[in-house]
Amino acid sequence: MINFNKFYKLFNILSLSLVIISILLLFFKGLNLGVDFKGGTLIELRANDKKINVTTLRYAFGNMTLGDINVKKFGNERDFLIKIEKKDTSAKALEIIKKNLTDSIGSSFNFRRVENVGPKVSSELLKSGIIAIVLSLAAMLFYIWIRFEWQFSLGAILALFHDVIITLGFFSLFNLEINLSIVAAVLTIVGYSMNDTVVIFDRVRENLIKFSDIKIFELTNISINETLSRTIITSVTTLLALISIYFFGGEILKGFSLAMIMGVVFGTYSSIYIANPILVKLRVSQKTILKEDTE
Amino acid sequence: MLYFSKLRITLISLVTLFFIYITFSNFQESENSFISKKINLGLDLQGGSYLLLEIDNNPVKLQKLQNTISIIRNYLKDKKIVFTDLRIKDEAIFFNISKPDNEIVKFFFLDKESEINPYYNLYKSHQFDLSVIENEFKLTISKYGLIEIKTSSQDQAIEIVRRRVDEVGTNEPNIIKRGNNRILVELPGLDDPMRIKSLLGKTANLTFRFVAQKNNDTFGVEMLPFEDGSNEVLVNKRIILNGENLLDAQPQMNNQTNETVVSFTLDRVGAKRFGKATRTGIGKQLAIVLDGKIVSAPVIRDAIVSGSGQISGNFTFQSATDLALLLRSGALPAPLNIIEERTVGPELGQDSINAGFFALSIGFLLVIIFMFFKYKVFGLIANITLLINLFLLIGILTIFEATLTLPGIAGIILTVGMAVDANVLIFERIKEESKKEKNNIIAFDTGYIKSKTAILDANITTLIAAIILFFMGSGPVKGFSVTLAVGIFTTLFSVYFIARMLTSLYVLKNKKKVDLI
């Protein structure tokens, strides 16, 4: 048996500092919002000429007076991703870009993907993305409130916030782009983190009924250990799936799978080191459950 | 708990075989298989264009106010009521009427039978809201009046959009309403939507009007630029003909001038009007105005009574074809703006499919290898369950002809990773139980029973996230939520029927074996 409870304090301090750092990052550095949420144009193109590199493209686009431009390599040597802030959605804008590009570099290009999001749509998408995340947190809160006593709900929700905030903080720190699929990832993280916490809580509650003489500090540790191999196996299989998406699923899914990998790692960790210590702090005992039942 | 009747085993096997068949029918080309359903590929996988158009209703609102103002003018003149200062200002109509007539006029507007201010029974509201301050009347379009305007212009616009897209001839376009002022156009297989975008970007409001000689025409005149920007000309506001009178329009080669032109045919009313106007206007210049710009302004040499004519204007064959198409399909009630566009080339789509399926195979392989080493025989059972789960998932998506997107494939891979969770919960519980309980059958039974709540909780939480994502997400992300949600149900089915059946068969054969799992 591993004594997880010995490190409750240590990891709580670590988590707290990570959360604070993440919040500070989100507050001061902010998130790198993609075209979906900020509006603008995104072009993925493949150059037919191997000599083309980021510098030549950056120079060519720089000459078109399109406003803020971001050029980067996308996957292999010949693929590039260009982000343009200018919110021109007119039918001609793209035609002009294509023509200018061929004029200045002379090589033919293959426009693999074009996304053009107007300012109105992007702000709507941002709003619905935030609503979706808030709504899912609220739904989880509601679910766990029905299923468990309030002490458990608080623990699970704090663990959830912990995971979401740190994942977002990570994206802020490394300036990774937030787009629609990241929102999907965050929602799935919410589901996963909850799922992981609930499995341990289920066991805690079962053990609370079984052993009236064991203190919650010990009891959480027993429960964590009893469910530990499940926790590890499920995390490993989920991570195996995610890692294969990350490495083989193509460039478009990279951000999504990275966010999910972060979420699974933190979700597993927080179930042990956030959710359970909260039960200890709140002095949950057999009475907590029995009282609820007699009401 | 452990016992499965023959009937149940047969049923479960049949269901499983059925879904395996469905899954494979996706990869068959034959049309005559008894289920011809297939998973739809999303635009991000098959390549194509997604356009979100927003209708700019401001011109429609202004038109409505202008129409209403002339109705009011005629009405008040008819009833011999003295009014002053009838005007449009800040999207409202103002006018002054002094006592005692104002009480009567108020009644005209607020009566349910009112001819000038229609009443909608459906909304229990008039088209206009009226407010009277002393002698000043103010009419603003009411909330429901605005809805009425928006839905009617959306209805008209979607019809025109559909005609234009159909004329271009793309395969299976999907054109649907969004809200009350947007239209979503999905064009599968189209990798360059440039032409459709420029066709949809034009209102195509065609009018024939005389070029004005002087500035004092009774109908008023306006300065309009030529299409090529070369010149500006004073044009009469009076409209001789507009696009509605057109029966047909086609691009054509004019043999005499060797020029591409657009020839048109007018309906009976239009032909009559056109004949009359050209007869009286010989020697005058006739401006052909499209969306506020003059295409050309030929001099009338003869009266045209045949009801057909030609528009020339430095067209290339392509631009003449497009103009003819626009004229045939009719004018949009209001300008459309493209507010969102997502286009994926077919090459990237295929790359995404390949990458998605490669990732799925690798993910699947990694998971089954891991499970086999962890649980041996039971790992094998879990793996068979997982494979069947995959068939069930793809089979259900096929039956519902769901749309598979790239994030949707990610959802399937994720399901593979998370689906073993239920089996793991059960196996771990059985392991614990068999430490206390020597009887294998009882240990298995207890394991299944005690793990149930945890499994349900785990799946319900994921389902909640998937449902919210379905309602809040858009496009490709929606595809993710669908596969995730369907994956939860297939997981539960495969774990509680297939895996349990297989474990029960195995356990019943090895009742006495120690350390079974």
Mapping DSSP to helix (H, G, I), strand (E, B) and coil, where does residue B427 land? Answer: helix
Q: Are residues B391 and B504 in the same domain?
A: yes
Q: In angstroms, how far is CA B105 from the centroid of its own chain?
A: 44
Residues B302, B282 contacting (CB under 8 angstroms) = yes
Average pLDDT over residues B47-68: 91
CA B468 to CA B461: how far, in whole Å? Answer: 11
Judge: B201–A91 Cβ closer than 8 Å, yes or no.
yes
Q: Are residues B38 and B94 in the same domain?
A: no
CA B44 to CA A87: how far, in whole Å? Answer: 22
Judge: B339–A253 Cβ closer than 8 Å, yes or no.
no
Identify the top-confidence range among B69-83, B218-232, B361-375, B423-437: B361-375
DSSP lists the bridge partners of residue B126 as: B119
**Closest residue on chain A to B467 (Cα):** A136
Identify the top-confidence range among B114-118, B166-170, B367-371: B367-371
* ω into B100 cis (within 30 of 0): yes
Average pLDDT over residues B443-468: 88
Does B119 reside within a domain?
yes
Does B74 reside within a domain?
yes
Which of B201, B420, B465 is facing A136, going by the closest CB pair? B465
DSSP lists the bridge partners of residue A42 as: A83, A115
Residues B242, B207 contacting (CB under 8 angstroms) = yes
User: Which residue's structure tokens are 């039960």?
Assistant: A279
Cα end-to-end distance, chain A, whole Å: 36
Q: Are residues B360 and B485 in the same domain?
A: yes
Q: CB of B201 within 8 Å of any CB in chain A? A: yes
Judge: A238–B418 Cβ closer than 8 Å, yes or no.
yes
Q: Which DSSP category does B39 fall into?
A: P
CA B500 to CA B505: how far, in whole Å? Answer: 8
**Chain A residues with CB-CB distance to B44 below 8 A:** 252
Q: Look at residue B34 in the predicted model and tell me its pLDDT.
A: 61
Which of B355, B367, B466 is facing A250, going by the closest CB pair? B355
**In Å, how far is A249's CA from the nearest CA of chain B?**
5
Domain boundary among B121, B146, B171: B146
- Burial letters for B231-252: b for 16+ Cβ neighbours within 10 Å, e otherwise? eebebbeeebbebebbeebebb
Q: Which DSSP category does B111 fall into?
A: S
What is the topology classification, in CATH, of domain A4-34+121-294?
Answer: Multidrug efflux transporter AcrB transmembrane fold (1.20.1640)
**Chain A residues with CB-CB distance to B198 below 8 A:** 91-92
Judge: A180–B355 Cβ closer than 8 Å, yes or no.
no
**Closest residue on chain A to B43 (Cα):** A113
Cα end-to-end distance, chain B, whole Å: 18
**In Å, how far is B336's CA from the nearest CA of chain A?**
11
Q: CB of A226 within 8 Å of any CB in chain B? A: yes
Mapping DSSP to helix (H, G, I), strand (E, B) and coil, where does residue B150 land? Answer: helix
Average pLDDT over residues B259-282: 89
Identify the segments of chain A with pLDDT beneath 50: 295
Judge: B358–A248 Cβ closer than 8 Å, yes or no.
yes
Q: For residue B453, what is the domain's CATH number?
A: 1.20.1640.10
Judge: B201–A187 Cβ closer than 8 Å, yes or no.
no
Which residue stretches of B169-281 are H helix? 194-200, 268-280
Three-class DSSP labels, chain A: CCCHHHHHHHHHHHHHHHHHHHHHHHHHHCCEECHHHHCEEEEEEEECCCCCCHHHHHHHHHCCCCCCEEEEEECEEEEEEEEECCCCCCHHHHHHHHHHHHHHHCCCEEEEEEEEECHHHHHHHHHHHHHHHHHHHHHHHHHHHHHCCHHHHHHHHHHHHHHHHHHHHHHHHCCCEECHHHHHHHHHHHHHHHHHHHHHHHHHHHHHHHCCCCCHHHHHHHHHHHHHHHHHHHHHHHHHHHHHHHHHCCHHHHHHHHHHHHHHHHHHHHHHHHHHHHHHHCCCCHHHHHHHHHC
**Chain B residues with CB-CB distance to A89 below 8 A:** 337-341
**Chain B residues with CB-CB distance to A203 below 8 A:** 454
CA B372 to CA B374: how far, in whole Å? Answer: 5
- B494 burial (CB, 10 Å; 0-12 / 13-18 / 19+) is buried
Interface test with A, best of B463, B469, B471, B480 (most A CBs within 10 A): B469
Parts of chain A belonging to CATH 3.30.70.3400:
40-117
Average pLDDT over residues B445-449: 90
Q: Are residues B501 and B355 in the same domain?
A: yes
Mapping DSSP to helix (H, G, I), strand (E, B) and coil, where does residue B256 land? Answer: coil
Q: Identify which of B142, B74, B135, B59 has the alpha carbon closest to the alpha carbon of residue B100.
A: B135
Q: Look at residue B213 in the predicted model and tell me its pLDDT.
A: 75
Q: CA-based Rg of chain B, rounded to a whole angstrom? A: 35
Judge: A187–B469 Cβ closer than 8 Å, yes or no.
yes
Q: Which two tokens mark A74?
A: 């996308």
Q: What percent of chain B has pLDDT over 90?
A: 30
Q: Are residues B75 and B14 in the same domain?
A: no
User: Which residue's structure tokens are 């429609």?
Assistant: B60
The three-point CA angle B319-A84-A53 to 5° equals: 100
- The larger pLDDT score, comparing residue B115 to residue A262, is at A262
Judge: B339–A120 Cβ closer than 8 Å, yes or no.
yes
CA A84 to CA A64: how far, in whole Å? Answer: 11
Q: Are residues B358 and B504 in the same domain?
A: yes
Q: CB of A258 within 8 Å of any CB in chain B? A: no
Residues B352, A254 contacting (CB under 8 angstroms) = no
CA B14 to CA A295: how far, in whole Å? Answer: 48
Does B163 reside within a domain?
no
pLDDT band at B485 (very low <50, low <70, confident <90, very high): very high
Does residue B74 carry a pLDDT above 90? no
Judge: B406–A252 Cβ closer than 8 Å, yes or no.
yes
A47 phi, psi to nearest 5 deg: -85, 140
Instruction: Quickly list DSSP for B347-383.
Output: HHHHHHHHHHHHHHHHHHHHHHHHHHHHHTHHHHHHH
Judge: A244–B363 Cβ closer than 8 Å, yes or no.
yes
Q: CB of A90 within 8 Å of any CB in chain B? A: yes
- Mind listing the pLDDT tens digit for each residue in A194-223? 889 989 998 999 999 988 888 999 999 999
Three-class DSSP labels, B451-492: HHHHHHHHHHHHHHHHHHHHHHCCCHHHHHHHHHHHHHHHHH
What range defines the domain where residue B262 resides? 206-314
Q: CB of A126 within 8 Å of any CB in chain B? A: no
Parts of chain A belonging to CATH 1.20.1640.10:
4-34+121-294
At position A249, the amino acid (one-letter code) is G
**Closest residue on chain A to B351 (Cα):** A250
Average pLDDT over residues B325-352: 90
Q: How many domains does chain B have?
A: 3
Identify the top-confidence range among B188-197, B206-215, B398-407: B398-407
What is the topology classification, in CATH, of domain A40-117?
Answer: Alpha-Beta Plaits (3.30.70)
Q: Please count the residue pairs, one from chain A and one from chain B, whose beta carbons lie less than 8 angstroms apart.
A: 224
In this structure, what is the dihedral angle of CA atoms A237, A241, A242, A245, given to the nearest 10 degrees?
170
Q: Are residues B353 and B216 in the same domain?
A: no
Q: Are residues B356 and B499 in the same domain?
A: yes
- The pTM of the full predicted model, rounded to 2 decimals, is 0.86
**Closest residue on chain B to A227 (Cα):** B428
Does B173 reside within a domain?
no
Q: Which two tokens mark B479?
A: 């595809």
Which residues lie closer than 8 Å to A130 by C-beta, 6 or more apart? none
**Chain A residues with CB-CB distance to B420 below 8 A:** 233-234, 237
Q: Look at residue A293 in the predicted model and tell me its pLDDT.
A: 53
In this structure, what is the dihedral angle of CA atoms B234, B240, B246, B252, given to the nearest 10 degrees?
-50
Q: Are residues B76 and B223 in the same domain?
A: no
Domain boundary among B258, B290, B314: B314
**Chain B residues with CB-CB distance to A188 below 8 A:** 414, 462, 465, 469, 484
**Closest residue on chain A to B347 (Cα):** A112
- The larger pLDDT score, comparing residue A226 to residue B98, is at A226
DSSP lists the bridge partners of residue B236 as: B221
CA A242 to CA A259: how far, in whole Å? Answer: 10
Q: For residue B296, what is the domain's CATH number?
A: 3.30.1360.200
What's the complex ipTM? 0.89
Judge: B464–A230 Cβ closer than 8 Å, yes or no.
no
Judge: A250–B352 Cβ closer than 8 Å, yes or no.
yes
- Mind listing the pLDDT tens digit for each residue in A171-182? 999 999 999 889
CA B62 to CA B382: how far, in whole Å? Answer: 67
Which of B341, B417, B472 is facing A242, going by the closest CB pair? B417
**Chain B residues with CB-CB distance to A128 below 8 A:** 472, 474
Which of B347, B355, B432 is facing A226, going by the closest CB pair? B432
**Closest residue on chain A to B356 (Cα):** A249
Domain boundary among B290, B314, B338: B314
pLDDT band at B283 (very low <50, low <70, confident <90, very high): confident
Q: Are residues B248 and B364 in the same domain?
A: no
Judge: B366–A240 Cβ closer than 8 Å, yes or no.
yes
Judge: B406–A250 Cβ closer than 8 Å, yes or no.
yes
- Mind listing the pLDDT tens digit for each residue in B407-421? 999 899 889 888 899
B168 phi, psi to nearest 5 deg: -70, -25
Q: Which two tokens mark B151?
A: 């839905």
**In Å, how far is B417's CA from the nearest CA of chain A?**
4
DSSP lists the bridge partners of residue B40 as: B403
Residues A23, A103 contacting (CB under 8 angstroms) = no
Does residue B425 carry a pLDDT above 80? yes
pLDDT band at B315 (very low <50, low <70, confident <90, very high): confident
Q: Are residues B275 and B356 in the same domain?
A: no
Q: Look at residue B32 in the predicted model and tell me its pLDDT.
A: 56
Q: CB of B473 within 8 Å of any CB in chain A? A: yes
**Chain A residues with CB-CB distance to B194 below 8 A:** 91, 94-95
Q: Are residues B366 and B418 in the same domain?
A: yes
- Mind listing the pLDDT tens digit for each residue in B124-176? 888 888 888 888 888 899 898 899 899 999 999 999 999 999 888 777 899 99
**In Å, how far is B198's CA from the nearest CA of chain A?**
6
